Amino acid sequence: MIAQSYRTGAEGKVDLVLEVDCDLVAVEVKHTTTVGGRDLRSLRDFTAEDNARLGVVINNDIAPRRCEDRTVGIPYMHL
């Protein structure tokens, strides 16, 4: 497994990129209970630019949620 941060072509930043078995997973950490479009912009850019399999937003929500097609939200308390 390789982990690193990443800047997208649109100057967005992804907090963590994991490479596992040749697949990329982008991770953002947000201190919010509601994940909105602005919170997903960097993940959306990264998954489009680099064909990442999944984007994950770690947040303060009470339950895991699907945010977009390839993006899920996972609460801190579920880690």
| Of 38 and 72, the one with more pLDDT | 72
pLDDT at 5 over 80: no
pLDDT at 35 over 80: yes
| Of 42 and 50, the one with more pLDDT | 42
The pTM assigned to this predicted structure is 0.82
- Each domain of the chain, given as residue ranges in start order, spans 2-78
Residue 59, classified by CB atoms within 10 Å of its CB into exposed (0-12), middle (13-18) or buried (19+), is: buried
Residue 24 CA, chain-centre distance (Å), reads 11
Q: What is the pLDDT of residues 51-66, one digit of tens each?
A: 788 899 999 999 999 9
